[in-house]
Structure 1
Amino acid sequence: MTATLSQPVTGVSHSALVLNATYEPLCVVPVRRAAVLLLSDKAETVTIGDGFLRSARHTIPVPSVVRLNRYVKVARRRNVSLTRRAVFARDGWRCVYCEGPAETIDHVMPRSRGGAHIWENVVASCARCNHKKNDRTLTELGWRLKVPPAAPKNPLWCVLGHRTPDPRWAVWLTAA
């Protein structure tokens, strides 16, 4: 099926939340992947989104939440992947030093001084603070972090990653 969105809606996510047969959140997939699950009878629509998907033979409402018809046992990842976008999301898209808009990531203990590229050593930073800090430690500058950086602990990070959840998913994500 080659599907197209008949009514593209600006500001609305074109992703769908996938629930296990037990209504446990599993992952987020593109709307087209959710449509394939629906059309192959592997899932059912739980919550409808905005618009319709149309093909030569089918017209279905855009799914926002789908539930798999069969239970899928999933091995949970213990660690959340460290990506630039995930660091920005964890730090609220703000510079941890001056609270301005974040543009870069910074290693609290510079890598040139043995700092590792791990959650506990990476923070979001504005370009000005990152340039000012350069290759120095916070102690050398007299700076302090309000909150020490850490890996995200919320299990929803494994489902959503750095995505901002669609408000229609709230009932399923709060139960997780």
Structure 2
Amino acid sequence: MRTLVLNAGYEPLAVVSFKRALVLVMNEKATVVEHVEAEPVWGTRRTYDRPAVIILTRYVRVPGVRNVPVTRRGVLRRDGHRCGYCGKSAATIDHVLPRSRGGADSWENLVACCLRCNNVKGDRTPQEMGWELRYPPAPPRGGQWTVRGTERADPRWEPYLALAA
């Protein structure tokens, strides 16, 4: 069981284990915002709701802008597992500007691609093929990208992750 941790300003910070969330609540460093409809946890002095979402009692300063690392899984997820050229189901990724021509492994140069389009395109650019991208590739945005562990989000987290988008 996992718990979403919110900063004092309701900004999503992290996803932690149920045990870690309960320790934060027991030490009065956080309070439960949303709880799981299950049996409560019995402490030595009182009972606690099983936390689904907690909020820290003090604001934690987050250093700088969080950059999302470029991964194959991330590119496929960003593009909804749809080919950037034809729109069919994608299982591979493609460099818009091929690596052999100086193309980087960046969010702006990678798109999800079906196997057929990837093989046909080969070492050429979309312009040379007469193809057009369905959308311009860009870095992903939103709380579900900057907060690790939200890929498999609990439905109770949705309103809090939407605030970060």
The answer to whether the Cα contact below 8 Å between 1:16 and 1:31 also exists between their aligned partners in 2 is yes
Q: Is 1:88 the equivalent of 2:73?
A: no
Counterpart of 2:24 (choices 15, 37, 57) is: 37
Work out the percentage of aligned pairs sharing the same amino acid: 51
| 2-structure distance, mates of 1:100, 1:17 | 34
Q: 1:112 aligns with which of 91, 100, 103?
A: 100
Separation of aligned partners in 2, 1:55 and 1:134? 61
Greater CA drift, 21-30 or 137-146: 21-30
Q: Provide the aligned C-alpha RMSD in A.
A: 2.9
- Structure 2 spans left out of the alignment, 5+ residues: none
Q: Mean alpha-carbon deviation: is it higher for 56-65 or for 19-28?
A: 56-65
Q: Deviations over 1:114-142 (max 9, x none)?
A: 10111110011122222222222212222
- What's the TM-score, normalizing by structure 1? 0.75
Residue ranges of structure 1 left out of the alignment (5+ in a row): 1-13
1:158 paired residue among 146, 154, 162? 146
TM-score (norm 2): 0.79
Give the Cα–Cα distance (whole angstroms) in 2 for the partners of residues 104 and 134 of structure 1.
Answer: 13
Paired residue total: 163
Change in CA separation of 1:100 and 1:49 when aligned onto 2, cut-off 3 Å: farther
- What letter corresponds to residue 102 of structure 2 in structure 1? G
Is 2:117 the partner of 1:129? Answer: yes
